[in-house]
Chain A
């Protein structure tokens, strides 16, 4: 397809990822959050696909496939399994309210869109807005980790950060070398596995997944 079309495609996917991120912050049920992160990852894969088609480079294609496999299928599923296994409440516990969070998220999206100029990132395919978008997604992920309390949704936030970076990598820098990509996904899998183990233990010890239980080590 034509580069212009590809770049528009990437832009749209990126915007979609931001909206998904806002959705995650808005979401009040862990289930929804998991679905939305899966969606976001799929959008990322789409963006990757776009980049791959635009530059017909195979390893971005592989990256897109891995993203689809690991981030939008495996990771959400594992976390879903945790929820099922532990039968805890699916309500999101956040330290700031639904609306405030969303407003802040949107504000962040706008601020970053402007403040952080993309000058050093003249991407090969001219998707100018992509890097600010990527950083916005990352920051939203951090926001989720900071404001939300359950272990599960913190991991969701972490996945958002990963998505943001992957977006930046894919579009801005042709993606990483394949070996590195493989390593990254391997680590991601391991991390998710560790989370799977820990959330089990955490529930066993504290009877919930609320990370506010984890505040005994001080000073």
Chain B
């Protein structure tokens, strides 16, 4: 059962990617991709149900291990993946029509999209930290090609920086992984099990603390680069702003989560062997720095997609901060924030994408009165911005509340308050820009773009899901988050 689901999970997108390249089927590339994404989603949901009902699962000779933490990440990837693919249909048509994209690149785009999804879904389900590293590196290589799908100088520049920084960073992570292996091999032998999460978790307390400290430093800097933690975040705004908007949605919405997932797994091991304070202090430091550094770039920002990208930096910082503050409340808040951010940010990127296409610019100065010209996009921009700003009833309010209350109950009040102040500044500037974009007087002679059903669906589904988990979170969702939080907390 679980084996079938997992194989479906990985096989579906890869199969789609291959089928798309069959000459006859190229013109159905979009629909095939959608089909693949759907299948992925279904298998993800099946896995989730299985895990939530019967606890963590391993299969394929323990190469695959799925627990609640994996499930949360996995389902997010699948959902956002489906929405992004759905959103790609009108988006890519528009790009091809307007000549931004060569028509023969469209099938390539969809194949790469599917491969991208495949590499991402592997990350949370593998048991072996080494394979996980391989998968994450693979996401870099594939998404780099997606970022540069437009053959312009700027997209090439963004892709290049992404490739260079991503690879160097990931190399650091590899070094950290090696050290973990080094620390564990005396206990577990030289076999692959020495990088298997389940085995490592069992012996985590006995791992050499010095080695694990050094290892965590490298892992944090390495995967932190992919997470977009400052000061390793520099590639992120470029890549996220140059990529096609659906890809930006995936990059910002779920790819960052994958890297963060890796960091959190390692955090558990380090905490177990070297004491949790060490890892948590590093997470808090990076989190706070990321939030703080994002603020000035948000205050003075003209490019709407760069603005959203910097908000990803900020929110990854928030999640790291919450995870570092720890405690039941802090960790739950971290998971909740992660979910809320994925849904909100992906929807925002896709809404912004349609606006950018309609106005043919990314500059917010030349993007005014959206709510009058394109009511749906404008409204979803505003709603998304309000959600991202942590206003009730959206979940980010609850999670940020949890962050502060956790910080006080764990005696890190000052950190919590400073963090909240920075968050508020970032949110304020986001609202400032968004309100101007949505409500300004539109340029004379601007005509309303027509709204495609696919766009409407793909933008509104994440928002509706966000509302669901914000206002009436289902019991399953709650228990999944609790389990995930307790996994990060290190108490199985």
Contacts and interface: CB of A to CB of B under 8 A. Distances in A.
- Given a CB threshold of 8 Å, the question of whether A touches B is answered with yes
A169 B297 contact: no
User: Which one of A154, A169, A177, A184 has the greatest number of beta carbons of chain B within 10 Å?
Assistant: A177
A165 B175 contact: yes
Given A214-B160, A217-B158, A190 B167 contact: no
B201 interface: no
A183 B134 contact: yes
B168 A142 contact: yes
Contacts of B276: none
B316 to A, nearest CB: 19
B195 A180 contact: yes
Nearest to A178: B192
Interface in B397-443: none
A205 B168 contact: no
Interface stretch (B15-23, B46-54, B144-152): B144-152
A187 B138 contact: yes
Interface in A148-200: 151, 154, 158, 161-162, 165, 168-169, 172-174, 176-180, 183-184, 186-187, 190-191, 194-195, 198
User: Which one of B164, B185, B238, B297 has the greatest number of beta carbons of chain A within 10 Å?
Assistant: B164
B134 A186 contact: yes
Given A184-B134, A202-B156, A205-B156, A176 B181 contact: yes
A187 B137 contact: yes
B141 A191 contact: yes
Nearest to A55: B190
A194 to B, nearest CB: 6
Nearest to B184: A173
A198 B159 contact: yes
A80 interface: no
B130 A151 contact: no
B306 interface: yes
Interface stretch (B206-214, B265-273, B322-330): B206-214
B178 A119 contact: no
A169 B156 CA distance: 33
A191 B167 contact: yes
B119 to A, nearest CB: 10
B103 interface: no
A29 interface: no
Contacts of B297: 219
B289 interface: no
Given A158-B167, A194-B145, A202-B160, A121 B128 contact: no
A174 B151 CA distance: 43
Contacts, number: 124
B181 A158 contact: no
Interface in A112-170: 119-121, 138, 142, 145, 151, 154, 158, 161-162, 165, 168-169
A119 B191 CA distance: 24
Contacts of A168: 175, 178
A90 interface: no
B427 to A, nearest CB: 20
B157 A187 contact: no
Interface residues of B, number: 51
A57 interface: yes
Nearest to B152: A205
B163 interface: yes
Contacts of B164: 145, 154, 158
A95 interface: no
Contacts of B210: 119-120
B157 A217 contact: yes
Contacts of A177: 128, 130, 181, 190-192, 194-195
Interface in B176-235: 177-179, 181-182, 185, 190-192, 194-195, 208, 210-211, 214
Contacts of A215: 157
B181 A173 contact: yes
Contacts of B158: 217
B131 interface: yes
A198 B130 contact: no
Contacts of A172: 178, 182
Interface string B24-63: 0000000000000000000000000000000000000000
Contacts of B1: none
A161 B222 CA distance: 13
Given A169-B178, A180-B128, A219-B300, A174 B185 contact: yes
A191 B238 contact: no
Contacts of A176: 130, 177-178, 181, 195
Interface of A: 57, 59, 119-121, 138, 142, 145, 151, 154, 158, 161-162, 165, 168-169, 172-174, 176-180, 183-184, 186-187, 190-191, 194-195, 198, 201-202, 205-206, 211, 213-217, 219
Given A158-B167, A216-B157, 8 more contacts: A158-B168, A177-B130, A179-B130, A179-B131, A180-B130, A194-B163, A201-B156, A217-B157
7 contacts: A121-B182, A176-B130, A177-B191, A191-B141, A201-B156, A213-B157, A217-B161
Cβ-closest 3 pairs across A and B? A183-B134, A180-B130, A173-B182
